[in-house]
Chains A and B, each alone.
Chain A
Amino acid sequence: MNPQELLYSKTHEWLHLAEEGGAKVATIGLSAFAIEQLTDLVYLQLPAVGAQVAAGAPLGEVESVKAVSDLYSPVSGEVLAVNARLASDLETLSKDPYGEGWIAKVRVTDETGLGALLKHEQYERQCAEEH
């Protein structure tokens, strides 16, 4: 996926929206900036398929040698799929964060919250300020 066309949360998750069979499906991942900041990833806790998630609520955890961070869902909905491969292959998360390193797909049931997400250039600006 092209990072320039994605939406971002302030907490560094990216989101891609698509129509699938009449439903809105969000693919969610973690930005390259966040992954670089975490470094030395050791563990990713994925959500359960079928779980209901709420915008801004924890979706999982990402753990590095340095610290553990919550992964937040940028949307509300139901988890349709998770990228189970990441559980044993965190390299993929660092190597291809916007493609093979996707984390979860969520069927969007409530679109409130989407409006608060950042466009790529806004997100870049936030990262530059954090750095």
Chain B
Amino acid sequence: MVDFAGWSMPVQYASIVAEHQATRRQMSLFDVSHMGRLCFEGDGAAAFLDRLLTRRVSDLGPGEVRYSLLTNEQGGILDDVLIYHLQPDAGRDFFLLVVNAGNREKVVAWIRQRLPAPGAVRLHDGTLETAMIAVQGPQALAAVQPGVPLELDRLRYYSARTWEAEHGGWIVSRTGYTGEDGVELIVPATAAEACWETVLAAGQPRGAVPAGLGARDTLRLEAGMPLYGHELSEQINPYQAGLKFAVDLEGRDFPGRDALARLSDQPPPVRRVGLELSGKRVPREHYPILAGDAVIGEITSGTFSPTFDRPLAMGYLPSRHARVGEPLAIDVRGQLAPARVVRLPFYTRHPSRKDAPP
């Protein structure tokens, strides 16, 4: 167990590689209750969120989920988030913002400063009274299906439903952080243990295992997904991070909008890249990246990829070096490992692209 943003979490239940492979081939369950869950209610909620996030919220239909960013006035990334538009069977629509655990307090404070006069928008931090379970892998939907009152097959990618059940409101979304198909469940904390046990039991004949932070990291890295505190920070803007798709400037007003409009006009000085290494040694955070004798960047995340059986990493490089095929070297504790820039993501589950070189 390790401390992760104040949460005690398992790095692994048995083996990172076994949990990783089970997720790619069968399925796994992750307790991701550490993720922050902020609810916005009220007539002004959509308009308020429109003035907060880098992508529009008011055009999200009921049941739609969108990846977005929060940026500061300079365009630096405060957090990367998912915003849900949820429509309960009874009662008013609300919005759910899922934020990184390590950023939750910062983000709540940032938002509270900007809340309009009381009434139009109500913010409620529901993190501690709910739990979140990610069920990921090709068998995930089948294992969750018996416990939910909707056909998961028909729930589109990046959409969500909510319903009233034991102990309160439940939410299921077709989302995840592994590069596999799957869902994430948000349930009342008092129902969490039973929900976990039920899905695990339903999944066990299908090869389900519980998976920890270690596998979550190797899976998201293979899928080329950035992680806040590693690839993303307030010193990095969305264009550098390769997240241009998550910024909508047209007719918008949100913190950092004008700075981002200026930045969008010019090529970013540095870019996030994928790196593939020779040998078996694992490139880890902060290891220097070299072109010839010159240090030109550093690793932000690295691992030994269980899927490709080789070391993979992400890092930032000056744009002129951030080209696919660029030959480089990584300083792995004093020894240089040959490396080259490769396209992100390393892994994609679509069969048509599975054969592409990582």
B12 within 8 A of A: yes
**Number of chain B interface residues as a range:** 10 to 19
In the assembled complex, how far is the CB of residue B194 from the closest CB belonging to chain A, in whole angstroms? Answer: 29
In Å, the complex CA distance between A65 and B283 comes to: 10
Partner of A42, one of B12, B284, B304: B304
In the assembled complex, how far is the CB of residue A50 from the closest CB belonging to chain B, in whole angstroms? Answer: 19
| Residues in chain A near residue B214, CB distance under 8 A | 65-66
B69 within 8 A of A: no
| Residues in chain A near residue B280, CB distance under 8 A | 42-43, 63
In Å, the complex CA distance between A80 and B64 comes to: 66
In the assembled complex, how far is the CB of residue A65 from the closest CB belonging to chain B, in whole angstroms? Answer: 5
**Is A63 a contact of B16 with CB atoms below 8 Å?**
no
| Residues in chain B near residue A42, CB distance under 8 A | 280, 282, 304
B15 within 8 A of A: yes
In the assembled complex, how far is the CB of residue A58 from the closest CB belonging to chain B, in whole angstroms? Answer: 10
In the complex formed, the residue of A with least CB distance to B284 is A68
**Is A66 a contact of B333 with CB atoms below 8 Å?**
no
In the complex formed, the residue of A with least CB distance to B303 is A65
**Number of chain A interface residues as a range:** under 10
| Residues in chain A near residue B303, CB distance under 8 A | 65
- How would you classify the secondary structure of chain A's contact residues: helix, strand, loop or mixed? strand
**Is B282 a contact of A39 with CB atoms below 8 Å?**
no
**Is A65 a contact of B282 with CB atoms below 8 Å?**
yes
In the assembled complex, how far is the CB of residue A51 from the closest CB belonging to chain B, in whole angstroms? Answer: 15
Q: A65-B214, A68-B333 are in contact. Are A40 and B17 (CB under 8 A)?
A: yes
A61 within 8 A of B: yes
Q: A65-B214, A65-B218, A65-B304 are in contact. Are A43 and B281 (CB under 8 A)?
A: yes
In Å, the complex CA distance between A61 and B282 comes to: 12
In Å, the complex CA distance between A65 and B312 comes to: 11
In Å, the complex CA distance between A43 and B304 comes to: 10
| Residues in chain B near residue A68, CB distance under 8 A | 282, 284, 333
In the assembled complex, how far is the CB of residue B211 from the closest CB belonging to chain A, in whole angstroms? Answer: 13
| Residues in chain B near residue A40, CB distance under 8 A | 15-17, 304
In Å, the complex CA distance between A40 and B217 comes to: 14
In the complex formed, the residue of B with least CB distance to A61 is B333
**Is A43 a contact of B15 with CB atoms below 8 Å?**
no
Q: A65-B214, A65-B304, A66-B11 are in contact. Are A39 and B281 (CB under 8 A)?
A: no
Q: Which of A61, A65, A66: most chain B Cβ within 10 A? A: A65
| Residues in chain B near residue A63, CB distance under 8 A | 280-282, 304
In Å, the complex CA distance between A4 and B327 comes to: 50
In Å, the complex CA distance between A40 and B333 comes to: 20
| Residues in chain A near residue B11, CB distance under 8 A | 66
In Å, the complex CA distance between A68 and B282 comes to: 8
In the assembled complex, how far is the CB of residue A86 from the closest CB belonging to chain B, in whole angstroms? Answer: 12
In Å, the complex CA distance between A42 and B16 comes to: 12
Q: A61-B333, A65-B303, A66-B214 are in contact. Are A43 and B12 (CB under 8 A)?
A: no
In the assembled complex, how far is the CB of residue B326 from the closest CB belonging to chain A, in whole angstroms? Answer: 25
Mask, A29-65, CB within 8 Å of B = 1, is 0000000000110110000000000000000010101
B1-55 contacts to A (CB < 8 Å)? 11-12, 14-17
Interfacial residues, chain B to chain A (CB-CB below 8 A): 11-12, 14-17, 214, 218, 279-282, 284, 303-304, 306, 333
Listed A/B pairs (19) with beta-carbon separation below 8 Å:
A39-B12, A39-B16, A39-B17, A40-B15, A40-B304, A43-B279, A43-B280, A43-B281, A43-B282, A43-B304, A61-B333, A63-B281, A63-B304, A65-B17, A65-B214, A65-B218, A65-B304, A65-B306, A68-B284
